[in-house]
Structure 1
Amino acid sequence: MTSPEPAGTAAADPRTGAWLHGVVRDVEPGTLATTASLEGDPVRAVRAAGLTAVVSTVPLSAYGEEALRRNLEDLAWLERAARAHHAVVDALSRAGAVVPARLATVHHGDEGVARVLVERHDELAATLDRLDGREEWGVKGYAVPGAVPRAAAPAGGGGAGAAYLRRRRAQLTAREEGQRIAAEAAAAVHEALAGYAVAARRHAPQDRRLSGAATAMVVNGAYLVDRPRLKGFSALVDALADRHPEIRLELTGPWPPYSFVAEPTTEAAHAVREPA
């Protein structure tokens, strides 16, 4: 007996696949109609087990396993695909909770997408519940050379001799001391923000060539924040920036919750999923 076709599927075409963008509870027709897929036409929905996967229909000539391996080596192609994928996930996140899929997760048919929704229903549903009403915000911190922590500011005691010794010691150990001070401030900032947020992740600092900053990044945190508490979170970032002049803080977002989900596939990225 043939399995029923997943709700929302396009007619089966062996030449096309389904690029998975993310999983939501449901999606409005208007969101689908106004959100461009990787190929420029509207994205579409595959529904199963009370969940909805949003996908792009893609030609396997360009998105099949061998083609993906080749294209993922092309930085220009990869950037275009990543931007288009993010645009879809971002549109979904603005409409409600979404579990973003890993980049380049492609299934041969909608049956494979539906199977993910069925097999991982409980996990995906629980994640959507946890993300509901919350947003991911990023905080990046950059070292400020020569800045002195407010708590460590010179008190002016000890006379001219003591002041000279302090200045001389600072000159001799400026680089090492600056790194230590920035690292301690970064840890304190992350701890304070994590205590306010629902969940937090501290990612590895970005290289200067990627961040574009003139000084080293020492904080690269992601924070899941309840929407009603966003104003307080922003105020906390400002307060921490004032408390720690040795690092420059930058608040970014909101972002889809990339840092707080497990992708809706347990298989390796970039592989085309074969139908059962």
Structure 2
Amino acid sequence: MSVDEGALARYVYAVARPFDPAPLAGLTGVGGHPVEAVAHRGLLAVVSPVPLREFDEAALKAKLEDLGWLERVARAHHAVVDAVMPLAAAVPLRLATVYRGEERVRAALDEDRAVFERALDRLSGRLEFGVKIYADPGSRGEPEPAPAAPAGAEPGESPGRAYLRRRREQRRRRDDSWQVAAALVERVDAALREWADAMARHRPQDAALSKAPGENVLNAAYLVAEDDAEGFLRTAARLRDEAPEGTRVEVSGPWAPYSFAGLDRAGEPA
């Protein structure tokens, strides 16, 4: 089916309860298109009018394979959500959520009203914080042993046996570091859950992609009430400072609560 060259779709960034959209004036989103508000029966969708020819099913299928395009869309999408979050509790939608016109946006708000309402109740007055824990045995300053090096050999021990012994000792120290990190994960999670309404565990980050030293053993998000944010951060800072040698705790945020904005059917493309 051909697409009208002038037809406009609506790219949806987030859904909130009604708020004054005046601060959004002049804000641009994906593709540099202006950001607008579509209010409907107690809900408000934050959208941009975008050319349908660029976001229909066939075009999107091709563009989702373009990593450069995805990165640009992600940056613009998150920038709009970040601009909305100080204005109202909002449910961020997934990237490239597009509907065929404003009426389809209103229909989606009707169809998934109960889902949006539950999500907004859960997110209202709350922030997301990220917590990562790393096991980093190399931070203990234990270099890899040189092959067949005679230094460090015990009396009567050949260079080859000395090398194998040092490798076993190094492996044992590394295993000890993983155990220490696992215990730290349990301690950190138990302490931070005292301040959080919910916790979401994400897949550990690949060191080759993140470039962070060590192995990521916990990659989690915590949903925290605004009134508890100071206590959460204070506790996280203490745990970070108390982390055993060979481990590392990193805390980030506050962020928009993407990790807790599950919507079931909501946000499906038209």
**TM-score bucket of the superposed structures, by smaller chain:** 0.7 to 0.9
Q: Tell me which residue corresponds to 2:38.
A: 46
Q: Does 1:197 align with 2:196?
A: yes
Task: Determine helix, strand or coil for the equivalent of 1:196.
Answer: coil
| Post-superposition CA distance 1:44-99 (Å, at most 9, x none) | 11121210011111112211111111111111111001110111111111222110
Which residue identity lines up with residue 252 of structure 2 in the other structure?
T
| Post-superposition CA distance 1:120-171 (Å, at most 9, x none) | 22221232122121111111122231679xxxxxxxxxxxxxxxxxx99864
Q: Does 1:85 align with 2:85?
A: no
CA distance in 2, matches of 1:171, 1:216: 16
Task: Determine helix, strand or coil for the equivalent of 2:82.
Answer: helix
Which residue identity lines up with residue 255 of structure 1 in the other structure?
W
Q: Tell me which residue corresponds to 1:209.
A: 208
Q: Does 1:114 align with 2:125?
A: no
Q: Tell me which residue corresponds to 2:12.
A: 20
CA distance in 2, matches of 1:117, 1:60: 20
Which residue identity lines up with residue 231 of structure 2 in the other structure?
G
Is contact 1:20–1:101 with CA below 8 Å preserved after alignment? yes
CA distance in 2, matches of 1:113, 1:249: 42
| Post-superposition CA distance 1:30-50 (Å, at most 9, x none) | 232132121324211112121
Of 74-83 and 57-66, deviating more is 57-66
Task: Determine helix, strand or coil for the equivalent of 1:77.
Answer: helix
Is contact 1:23–1:264 with CA below 8 Å preserved after alignment? no
Q: Tell me which residue corresponds to 1:32.
A: 24
CA distance in 1, matches of 2:48, 2:208: 32
Q: How has the CA–CA distance of structure 1 residues 211 and 146 changed in structure 2, closer, same or farther, with 3 Å as cutoff?
A: closer
Q: Tell me which residue corresponds to 1:3.
A: none
Spell out the pairing of 1:85-234 with structure 2 (5 A cutoff): 85-145=77-137, 171=170, 173-234=172-233
Q: Does 1:71 align with 2:70?
A: no
Task: Determine helix, strand or coil for the equivalent of 1:197.
Answer: coil
Deviation at residue 265 of structure 1 after TM alignment? 4.1
Is contact 2:132–2:216 with CA below 8 Å preserved after alignment? yes
Is contact 1:138–1:253 with CA below 8 Å preserved after alignment? yes
Is contact 1:22–1:89 with CA below 8 Å preserved after alignment? yes
The two structures have a TM-score, normalised by structure 1, of 0.79
Q: How has the CA–CA distance of structure 1 residues 54 and 69 changed in structure 2, closer, same or farther, with 3 Å as cutoff?
A: same
Q: How has the CA–CA distance of structure 1 residues 85 and 264 changed in structure 2, closer, same or farther, with 3 Å as cutoff?
A: farther
Q: Tell me which residue corresponds to 2:51.
A: 59
Point out where structure 2 has 5 or more consecutive residues left out of the alignment: 141-165
Deviation at residue 229 of structure 1 after TM alignment? 1.6
Q: How has the CA–CA distance of structure 1 residues 229 and 267 changed in structure 2, closer, same or farther, with 3 Å as cutoff?
A: closer
| Post-superposition CA distance 1:229-261 (Å, at most 9, x none) | 211111111221233324211111111110111
CA distance in 1, matches of 2:218, 2:228: 22
CA distance in 2, matches of 1:79, 1:182: 33
Q: How has the CA–CA distance of structure 1 residues 171 and 52 changed in structure 2, closer, same or farther, with 3 Å as cutoff?
A: same
Of 112-121 and 175-184, deviating more is 175-184
Q: Tell me which residue corresponds to 1:257.
A: 257
Question: Percent identity of the aligned residues?
Answer: 44
Deviation at residue 25 of structure 1 after TM alignment? 0.6
Is contact 1:100–1:263 with CA below 8 Å preserved after alignment? no
CA distance in 2, matches of 1:146, 1:119: 53
CA distance in 2, matches of 1:61, 1:209: 37
